A and B are shown apart, each in its own frame.
Chain A
Amino acid sequence: MKRMTQLISVCAAAAMVMSAGSAVFAEEGTFKIGAIGPVTGAAAAYGISVMNGAQLAVDEINEAGGINGSQVELLTADDEHDAEKSVNAYNDLKDKGMQLLLGTVTSAPCIAVEGEALNDNMFLLTPSGSAVDCITGENAFRVCFADPAQGAKSAEFIGSHELGTKIGIIYDSSDPYSTGIMESFVAEAENQGLEVVSNEAFSDNRTDFSAQLNKAKDAEADLVFLPFYYQEAALVLKQASDMGFTPAFFGCDGMDGILTVENFDTSLAEGLMLLTPFTPNAEDEMTQNFVAAYEEAFDGLVPIQFGADAYDGIYAIKAALEDAGATPDMSASDLCDLMKTSMGNITVEGLTGTITWDPATGEPEKEPKAVVIENGEYVALD
């Protein structure tokens, strides 16, 4: 036993020593942008999409001559959608010389990493971390809408388009994203003359929505608002159809991807409306080119909005770095100070709209878009 113990101690010590010397300093001449998100685990779809979108943008930029004449390198790390792992990933990327951070992808880890980045004065631009607390510091910005903005915009859209009057809500109380949207939706619904007739949460049990749907049905809701991700939404639609409940359904950007769910009967999603900044079917040239390039680079995978957010995020970083006249030999902290002002000066014509930033809050300013599913395809609603 003792020998065993010694052996283990030696191994542990060796592992630590190996790791100790691995601090690498930024190579001259390249900007090192880190990207953190879940590439494995339950939220992997989002992380993978962000990494792909970011990589695509970086490749394009490098081909076109880089930023201020310098090449860009994308460093990626997996956080498995876990706050603790995300901080580890952040530290790991710092060791590898990261100067700017695109991330993290999901909200809870983003809040943790933002705390660290604020201490280090590291510039952080989250493509998709939509919780309010994700960008508390001056160093932090985001590409997507914050949750309250999405909830209010959804209520506005439903009200102004008269899509329904008696609203049932089902939301995921364990997800900041879903809860944030729900709260601001309820607040705005009143202004829009909408009546919230049922408001039910789910958290640990993510398979059985019959009780929540039954309550909406009993309250005679004519529109059910589903501010959560598409995997659960697919189950909700199926269970509603099984119980003969057929209101209109309205979702947020997390609903994007529902048509790609394996074995999902897409006819159940007919007429489903969702607010999303990006649809791969949009006909503008930029989207078409992006989708084509994405499909070619990643084995025919169709991009979802996370990839588009990341793509826009990289271009925003590029624009701001150019605005500031930054060079790659600057330290992360110096770059961060420059970015804080430059982010307010730029306008990005992106996939998710024409975006400007408020440097005081870090929030983006852009128009929301809504789509409806018809014949298994997204069609823009206006």
Chain B
Amino acid sequence: MGEKQNNIDIIKSMRRKTLRKSMLNYGIVIAAYAVMQIMIATGNISSLLKGLLVPLCVYVIAALSLNLVVGISGELSLGHAGFMCIGAYTSAFFSNAVGNTLPDLPRFILAILIGAAFAGVFGILIGIPVLRLKGDYLAIVTLAFGEIIKNLLNVLYAGIDSHGLHFSTTSAMDLHMEPDGRQIIKGALGISGTPKNSTFTIGVVLIIVTLIIVQNLINSRNGRAIMATRDNRIAAESIGIPVTRFKLLAFAISASLAGVAGVLYAHNLATLNTKKFDYNTSILILVFVVLGGIGNLTGSIIAAVVLTALPEMLRFLNNYRMLIYAIVLIVIMLFNWAPASLDLRSRLREKLFSKHKSEKREEGEQDGNS
């Protein structure tokens, strides 16, 4: 009896802890939003920072969505830029095709839903075959998928006229549109003239929605099942957890959220083409996740913000930025995952806890060694 009670207490305290963690994330986002709004209202904001607000939201959402796959499912996706691309293209196509027949806000909300839905569907389509594969294969297939999407969108031409939509995969001339027709997707040139609907407020709302979805998923029964799968696939399978189904769920949701990030991106700039959504962008999002701590949502948010804003503030470092990212990626991985480093760190911690503050100097020395 006593032991059972004890277990319940532990579970309760864990629940409180997760709740606190979740609240912390909402708090950070809302506080940042409030600070920015005050700065905007008092005119205390530079154009540069103001222009960065929406991109920051884009990358935060992308990082959170990738963290769902990398941190929670323990799978590596190198195709998240591909999902962003799908979200961006489908939504921008929709907004351009509908044009002014719908007012701005409802049209944008529909665009977001469409972008999310299409990206989610592609997530499922890609997920079904590849989630049966393990780590490295999954990484390379998602990478391949990102390239395929880019490649196919590069040859897609689409337009609209009084007869409806026209598609072609060869050239704009093959659309055979009426003279009043408008070209929307111009092959590799992408889409231009998308209405600028993305605002900071909508971006923040979408971040919060993303957080709600991701955090609820993590703290749900399914979420725990997914994490069980991550930690030990075979054991999880043996106690009857349908591994593939749960991973697929997480993957599809993640793809769909990446799609939302794409929608926000597409409705912030007047031009959109596939160049932006290449392998490098997938890696950039991965850097946010790794730097923020794999599985750590707060970390993802902060890393995405800092790594997007800082390079713009420190433009003179431009040439070295990617080099620094690469080094940071390697060093953090070695520091956080190498058994030798973990061993050293836990020994250090033990030492610190057992001895007292009087030996701070030694601690300093050892930090230097680690």
Given contacts A16-B49, A112-B271, 6 further A-B contacts (CB under 8 A): A83-B276, A91-B50, A92-B46, A111-B192, A115-B269, A136-B193
CA of A204 to CA of B152, assembled, Å = 11
B74 in the interface, Cβ–Cβ < 8 Å?
A: no
B222 at the interface (CB under 8 A from A): no
Specify the chain A residue showing the minimal Cβ separation from B151: A204
> Would you call B188 and A20 a contact (CB within 8 A)?
no
Distance to closest chain A CB from B192 (angstroms): 5
Which residues, 294 to 320 on B, are CB-close (under 8 Å) to A?
A: 296, 298-299, 302-303, 305-306, 309-310, 312-313, 315, 318-319
- Whether A78 and B49, one on each chain, are in contact in the complex, defined by CB atoms closer than 8 angstroms, is no
CA distance A364 to B283 in the complex (A): 42
Cross-chain pairs A/B with CB under 8 angstroms, 6 sampled: A16-B309, A21-B44, A21-B46, A88-B52, A88-B312, A95-B46
Answer yes or no: B105 CB below 8 A from chain A CBs: no
Does B154 make an interface contact (CB < 8 A)? yes
Whether A78 lies near B192 (C-beta < 8 A) is no
Complex A-B, nearest 10 residue pairs according to Cβ-Cβ distance, in ascending order: A115-B270, A91-B51, A174-B188, A91-B47, A111-B271, A94-B47, A92-B48, A91-B48, A173-B188, A95-B46
Minimal beta-carbon separation of A278 from chain B (angstroms): 26
Chain B residues, CB < 8 A from A173: 154-155, 187-188
Closest residue of A by beta carbon distance from B36: A16
In contact, A179 and B47 (Cβ under 8 angstroms): no
- Size range of the interface on A? 35 or more
Report B31-61 residues with CB < 8 Å from chain A CB: 35, 39, 44-52, 55
Give Cα A268 to B139, complex, Å: 43
The interface residues of chain A lying within 8 Å CB-to-CB of B35 are 13, 16
Contacts of B173 in A (CB 8 A): 183, 186
Q: Indicate if B181 sits at the interface (CB-CB under 8 A).
A: no
Residues of A within 8 A of B319 (CB): 40
B192/A87 in contact, CB under 8 A: no
Does A80 count as interface, using CB distance less than 8 angstroms? yes
Q: Which of B193, B293, B312 interacts with A1 by CB under 8 Å? A: B293
Asked if A263 CB lies within 8 Å of chain B CBs, one says: no
- Cβ of B302: which chain A residues have Cβ within 8 Å of it? 5, 8-9, 12
Taking CB atoms, residues of chain A closer than 8 Å to B151 are 203-204
Cβ-defined contact, B192 with A179, below 8 A? no
**Distance (whole angstroms) from the CB of B363 to the closest CB of chain A:** 14
> Within the complex, what minimum Cβ distance (angstroms) separates A201 from chain B?
8
| Chain B residues in 8 Å Cβ range of A18 | 313
Asked if residues A175 and B188 are in contact (CB atoms below 8 Å), the reply is: yes
B80 at the interface (CB under 8 A from A): no
Q: Quick check: is B326 within 8 A (CB to CB) of the other chain?
A: no
Judge whether B208 is part of the interface by a CB distance below 8 angstroms. no
Chain A CB within 8 A of B273 CB: yes
Most interface-central of B171, B187, B269 (chain A CB within 10 A) = B269
Q: How many whole Å from A113's CB to the nearest CB in chain B?
A: 8
A204 to B189 alpha-carbon distance, docked (Å): 13
A21, B46: Cα distance in complex, Å: 7
* Chain B residue, CB-CB nearest to A8: B302
Q: Which chain A residues (62-106) contact chain B, with CB distance < 8 Å?
A: 77-78, 80, 82-84, 87-88, 90-92, 94-95
By a CB distance below 8 angstroms, the chain A residues around B298 are 5
Asked if A219 is at the interface of the complex by the 8 Å CB criterion, the answer is: no
Q: How far is the CA of A286 from the CA of B188 in the complex (A)?
A: 39
Enumerate chain A residues within 8 angstroms of B313, measured Cβ to Cβ.
Answer: 15, 18-19
Instruction: Bits for A154-180, please: 1 = Cβ < 8 Å to B, else 0.
Output: 000000000000000000011110010
Quick one: which of B174-204 are within 8 Å of A by CB? 186-189, 192-193, 196
Interface centre among A16, A22, A115 (most CB of B within 10 A): A16
Task: Tell me if B28 is interfacial: C-beta within 8 Å of chain A.
Answer: yes
Please state if B269 and A112 are interface contacts (CB–CB under 8 Å). yes
Give complex CA distance A109, B275 in Å: 12
Expressed in whole angstroms, the Cα–Cα distance for A380 and B298 within the complex equals: 63
* Selected contact of A8 from candidates B269, B276, B306, CB within 8 Å: B306
CA distance A16 to B171 in the complex (A): 46
Whole-angstrom distance between the alpha carbons of A13 and B36 in the complex?
A: 11
Give the chain A neighbours of B269 by CB distance below 8 A: 83-84, 87, 112, 115
Query: B154 touching A203 by the CB < 8 A rule?
Result: yes
Q: Does B150 contact A (CB under 8 A)?
A: yes
Min Cβ gap B65→A in Å is 19
